[in-house]
Homo-oligomer: A and B are copies of this chain.
Amino acid sequence: MTTKPRVFIPFLLVLSILLVSATLALSTTEDPERQIERCKQECRESRQGEQQERQCVRQCEEQEEKRQQGEETGKEGRKGEDPEKRLEECRRECREQAEGREQRECEKRCEEECKEHRGENKEEEKREEEKGEKRRGSDPFFFDEESFLHQVRTEHGHVRVLRNFLERSKLLLGVANYRVAILEANPNTFVLPSHWDAEALLFVARGNGLITRQCQDNKETQELRRGHIIRVRAGTIVSFVNKDRNEKLVIVMLFQTVATPGMLEAFVGAGGRNPESFYRSFSKPVLRAAFNTGVDKLERLFGRQKKGAMIEASQEQIRELSRRAGSEGLPRPFGESRRPFNLLDKRPSHSNRHGELREADGDDYPELRDLNIQVSHASINKGSMMSPNYNTEATTISIVVGGNGQVQIVRPRVSGQQEEGRGREEEEGRGREEEEGRGQQEGKEEEEQRQRGQRYQRVESEVSRGTTYIVPAGHPSVAVSSRNERLEVLCFEINAMNNRRTWLAGSNNILKQMDRMTKELAFDQPAREVDEVLNAPREEVFMAGPQERERESEGGEGRDGPLESILEFAGF
């Protein structure tokens, strides 16, 4: 008897999200006061030196201040601070703590971190971004770092979990069962074992490490390198090591919840007071019976660990942990997919001077078939863009893993009564554009557009490392790299089976394939004229971005033809 898909199994269930969403949040968050209190507590418990403790507590307090300022200014509780000052301080700490090569590496990390958190932004860019963030708050598809909550936060790294999608918008129902998280571990760090109540798919965005997966009958350790994709089944106990001496280990994690849709929790067994072991929650008599031992011994076992979920490991300890890599474990239960698959080692499916697209599916890593997910990685060169496109069946969850740029998504237009917050969105949108100096003309045009009852609207956002965005199936979108850095986007395509990406521009533009008569009828003009435009692009998938193109074509066809056509076309 073969297994059959049954509709009543999926018969799924969710709801009441408005009320749920409040609850959902909490699987990873707490109220701010408690969070800060815990933060300080963690500092005290995990201290290895007085100076470090002070530094740690100061960070907690900075975060508190930031919150009191209305949560408006910051990423990571550091943004409100002058970046130069912060960098200087970080470097000074390095000098105090380390020497020689270690010191230089430490300072390098400072700069890196600083870059990350400021994004190397100059004054005006920063203002841009703040506007961008405000905007993101009112559209449903973009999530910046503020949308992440700390699940773990120690001096050796952190795990940040993106809020449940349904907290943002009911339009994200289609991905409501997914959660995104990012783990960052400092060099020489061990992440304590835990299990999740969710299927996980991991992508190593940066660094070199080890992963150990353990279930009732099996255990194995694998090397992790940048580009690796690896699945962790629900309930599997997993621990990580950043074995690199210099570089951070950054892992992007996609969760598919199995217990309660949209709720995600990590359970730590082998811990103590911090991270708290869940064993401590069973009643004492039960524990005494379960371990057939006395409370004193149990307290010795589950009471010592106070350093937090991420701790420093010596090179010797890491060597011992590494020794097991790849050598242990029976083939089951991780089957043929024991080894991670390296997406970045794969030949690009599209590649030209503007960028590279790599895609992994079930043929590359069978677990992806099981999860019905495809993973792709787009690397868009400076000043270039990836062609507008849509996915036929897949809704995508994309995470920017490097660089910065801009993303536009086309969605059905909704009118004021129909979506809460849209008024605000539109107003801000208009306000923003005016601020950006495009002048009154466009604002007016947008007004007219709306009066004509147009069906589509654009949502857009500046994106940078950590920005997460959703593109629902069928919705056209485009990603553009900034002029100063390559944009790298990791994309999880949910419901990947039978999905195909459809290209809306470039030499493989789907419009080109229409027959002559359809073109004439659809565009209401001779096919020859249609083809003239459609056949102009010479490249596919990746191409010069707007700024790049303008520079290239400058002096060529002038500034885009007569003013009249600009005015007429302004409806764009």
Which of A74-82, A95-103, A121-129, A467-475 is found at the contact surface with chain B?
Answer: A467-475
Residue-wise, chain A 448-471 has the 8 Å CB interface mask toward B (1 for contact) of 000111111110100000000000
Q: A274 → chain B, closest Cβ, in Å?
A: 8
Work out how many copies of this chain go into the complex: 3
Q: Is A134 an interface residue (CB 8 A)?
A: no
Select which of B212, B522, B529 is within 8 A of A518 by beta carbon. B212
Residue-wise, chain A 548-572 has the 8 Å CB interface mask toward B (1 for contact) of 1110000001001110011011011
| Contacts A17-B16, A284-B572, A300-B529; A8 near B269 (Cβ below 8 A) | no
Q: A469 → chain B, closest Cβ, in Å?
A: 14
Q: A6 → chain B, closest Cβ, in Å?
A: 7
C-alpha spacing A146/B546, complex, angstroms: 47
Q: Is A143 an interface residue (CB 8 A)?
A: no
Chain B neighbourhood of A215, CB < 8 A: 392, 500, 502, 510
C-alpha spacing A530/B12, complex, angstroms: 42
Chain B, Cβ-Cβ closest to A394: B258
Q: A341 → chain B, closest Cβ, in Å?
A: 14
- Could you tell me if B372 and A5 are in contact, using CB atoms closer than 8 angstroms? yes
- Could you tell me if A288 and B549 are in contact, using CB atoms closer than 8 angstroms? yes
Q: Is A395 an interface residue (CB 8 A)?
A: yes
C-alpha spacing A475/B369, complex, angstroms: 27
Q: Is A68 an interface residue (CB 8 A)?
A: no
Chain B neighbourhood of A370, CB < 8 A: 1, 3-4, 6
Chain B neighbourhood of A11, CB < 8 A: 10, 12, 174, 177, 256-258, 261
Q: A14 → chain B, closest Cβ, in Å?
A: 4
- Could you tell me if B26 and A415 are in contact, using CB atoms closer than 8 angstroms? yes
Contact residues of A between 9 and 53, Cβ < 8 Å to B: 9-20, 22-23, 25-27, 30-31, 34-35, 37-38, 41
A-B contact pairs, 22 of them (CB 8 A): A1-B335, A8-B258, A9-B371, A16-B17, A22-B418, A216-B502, A235-B502, A236-B392, A259-B472, A259-B474, A278-B455, A282-B476, A283-B460, A289-B548, A290-B543, A292-B537, A295-B561, A295-B565, A307-B524, A317-B521, A320-B516, A321-B517
